[in-house]
Structure 1
Amino acid sequence: MPDMIVVGGGVVGMLTAWTLGQAGAEVLLLEKGETGREASWAGGGIVSPLYPWRYSSAVANLAHWSQDFYPRLGERLLADTGLDPEVHVTGLYWLDLDDQAEALAWARTHGRPLSEVAIGAVHEAVPVLGQGFERAVYMSGVANVRNPRLVKSLREALVRLPNVSLQEQVEVTGFLQDGEQVKGVRTAQGDFTADSVVLAAGAWSGELLAKLGLVLPVEPVKGQMILYRCAPDFLSSMVLAKGRYAIPRRDGHILVGSTLEHAGFDKTPSGEALSSLRASAEELLPALAGMEPVNHWAGLRPGSPQGIPFIGEVPGHQGLWLNTGHYRNGLVLAPASCQLLVDLMQKRQPIIEAAPYAPEGRLVATPIV
């Protein structure tokens, strides 16, 4: 019997299993489909909240720890697996912010390298940037991670750990209980028992927790992206304006995103979103006009109140832990979230103050029908 079962094979679930495994636990990870093929695969991979100054300190504290940790994580995964997640440091320009003064004040308070830049200097640094922008701020050191490669390297890292087992195409349908103790999970393939269960199922976490009569305010929020293929030196830095961004990969691929849609669990890409994303792409980078995107897809983020994830043990259900609800910031918050969870599970001093993420007081009990 494993010490822990992790439910959900996205970046958060896999990194949770990897961190637990590194700490010596016997771990079983269960994924209803293929690992890393939901929100983790679909996102852009910016290792920063899009507008970090607009979030609470709860999100900022996780983000800062993860941003500092990501380069080491990339190096470790490459060394362990031979698969490079491509943590690509490009910096990020924000253009024509309505709250630029607030952004700069936030940077001074938190010691982050964000500064105002003359728009002419931006055009010198990013010659393909469109005209018409008037103001800019820049943060050096901001990276993007190539998330499809990150999930591949994480999966390989898990496979190589002798104390971690991974099973795909196993959908968890409920929980095993002994009084207030959660002792495992139910699946179509049978029951699995463990000392503890970690629910890290992203947008699907709320549906699973409802099996216990608990309302977890995590809901799917659809996001659509498009991808262009350009020369490797086409775009030197990430750029963001009017809520839309362009992200350069090392090989010249350019991601442009993203939409925010409340459409339940529908992941169908739409023509309307494609047109809107192409217009944003061409406003940011006019050289893309007339080019056909090479891909267009949608994913489902786990939306949560204020984007603050749920990390900790579920009150009244001993042995059941949450690591979910990261909304738009799953990739950037994952390393800190997983380390914090493991610190709590193993009763160690947590890396940051854990209270803002605790499920206690943030869940609602309802009758099970």
Structure 2
Amino acid sequence: MTTLIVGGGVIGLMSAYQLAEAGQNVTLVERRRCAREASWAGGGIVSPLYPWRYSEAVSALSRWSEGVYPELAERLRETTGIDPQYRRNGLLYLAVNDADQALRWASEQGKPMRRVDAEDVARIEPAVVGGPHANGGLWMPTLGSVRNPRLGSALRAWLQRHPRVTLREDLTVEQLCIESGRVTGLNTTRGRLAAERVLVCAGAWSGELLARSGICLPVTPVKGQMMVFRPGKGTGPPLSRVVLADGRYLIPRRDGRILVGSTLEHQGFDKTVTCSARVSLQRSARQLLPALAEATIEHHWAGLRPGSPGGIPFIGEVPNVAGLFVNAGHFRNGLVLAPAATRLVADLMLGRTPVVDPQPYCPPAADVGLVQPMAANWC
């Protein structure tokens, strides 16, 4: 049986990875090039920004995923020659107004986290001076990050080499084919692809695609703008660890570049960058790291996150449509949750014991009265 996967972001790529490793034949369809949307545009922090503020549904996936990344990154590096650059240098939280809640969460989860004062901050990250660090913050030494564009490239290269995987890039899916309450394939710009099982991993576009078949999945685009700074030659890396304050973060890369992010904007599918966001991001970055006043803004971009209620993804088979599965709506945490979310959907598709309780992620039921007439017109 061949599984069709719609969407070549990290969720789609890792889903294909999981299924292929389990001996399944997979065809992945991507309208452009794989891993060039939200998977490319994000920052690569392998944790929700403020994990203690999320529901248990998100935390369960995050806990399982966190321990997978070191081994996954090393395996991809060895097999493809592309290093995702996983780093476990920790995260420094500044200006935290719910530190007691954070510390309780860390204790319950068995995560190392401690309060730090201004002197500790200066010792942990000497380049961070003044501004929001004056009252100290929290230090989580075990948090990691990856260079997400390299992770996407490595996953794509791995799948290209796998004998059970076919990548179909530059191919747009126009409609799901659904007949008599069962998915039968996809209608694309280059004809129909038949399959008994379809997995929708189309990120911010998942809700729009499913709506064409009368399936209401509340996944909508949420724009995020980011920038990257390139320090001057000979200055050395001005930052060693991820630093977070007031919802804005700085992420150091191995080559010395520094990312700053990000905005949260409800602007539909518009990915236009704006002057106001540029000014705001630049101000936040320089407040956290004054050395960036001398750095060059190398690139400013925007991506679209797949927003969902409470940031809880939809994972599983769509009720009333046999063979149609969804793995979408991860909001800001697609990369964070990807190992567990893709393992869970593979477990459900293959009838294995789920790695986590699937109940919190169940997709809403399709409106059978709408599904079949629409499918007949297309398929």
Shorter-chain TM band: over 0.9
- Residue among 341, 345, 349 paired with 1:337: 341
How many residues matched? 367
Write the distance in 1 (CA, Å) between the matches of 2:75 and 2:246. Answer: 36
Q: Is the 8 A contact 1:216 1:364 kept in 2?
A: no
Q: Is the 8 A contact 2:121 2:136 kept in 1?
A: no
Who is 1:25 aligned against?
Answer: 24
Q: Is the 8 A contact 1:8 1:30 kept in 2?
A: yes
Residues 1:265 and 1:360: Cα distance change in structure 2 (over 3 Å): closer
Q: TM-score, normalised by structure 1?
A: 0.97
Write the distance in 2 (CA, Å) between the matches of 1:120 and 1:205. Answer: 47
Identity level (%) = 51
Gaps of 5+ in 2: 375-379
Who is 1:182 aligned against?
Answer: 183
Who is 2:377 aligned against?
Answer: none
Who is 1:9 aligned against?
Answer: 8
Write the distance in 2 (CA, Å) between the matches of 1:270 and 1:5. Answer: 37
Write the distance in 2 (CA, Å) between the matches of 1:366 and 1:298. Answer: 38
Write the distance in 1 (CA, Å) between the matches of 2:327 and 2:310. Answer: 16
Write the distance in 1 (CA, Å) between the matches of 2:367 and 2:107. Answer: 38
Write the distance in 2 (CA, Å) between the matches of 1:192 and 1:113. Answer: 49
Q: Is the 8 A contact 2:120 2:136 kept in 1?
A: no
Task: Give the alignment of 1:56-205 within 5 angstroms.
Answer: 56-132=55-131, 133=133, 134-205=135-206
Write the distance in 1 (CA, Å) between the matches of 2:124 and 2:109. Answer: 26
Q: Is the 8 A contact 1:215 1:365 kept in 2?
A: no
SS at the partner of 2:145?
strand
**Residue 317 of structure 1 pairs with residue 316 of structure 2:** no
Runs of 4+ with deviation above 2 angstroms: 230-233, 363-369
Deviation track 1:294-348 (CA, whole Å, cap 9, x = no partner) reads 1100000000000000000000000000000000000010011000110111111
Q: Is the 8 A contact 2:89 2:143 kept in 1?
A: yes
Deviation track 1:142-187 (CA, whole Å, cap 9, x = no partner) reads 1111011001100000000011000111010111123111011000
Q: Partner letter of residue 218 of structure 1?
A: V
Deviation track 1:236-276 (CA, whole Å, cap 9, x = no partner) reads 11100011000011111100000000000000111110000
Write the distance in 2 (CA, Å) between the matches of 1:118 and 1:203. Answer: 40
Q: TM-score, normalised by structure 2?
A: 0.94
Write the distance in 1 (CA, Å) between the matches of 2:178 and 2:274. Answer: 42
**Residue 350 of structure 1 pairs with residue 354 of structure 2:** yes
SS at the partner of 2:46?
coil
Q: Is the 8 A contact 1:90 1:237 kept in 2?
A: yes
Residues 1:365 and 1:303: Cα distance change in structure 2 (over 3 Å): farther
SS at the partner of 1:245?
strand
Q: Is the 8 A contact 1:232 1:253 kept in 2?
A: no
Displacement of 1:135 after TM fit? 2.3
Gaps of 5+ in 1: none
Residues 1:340 and 1:289: Cα distance change in structure 2 (over 3 Å): same
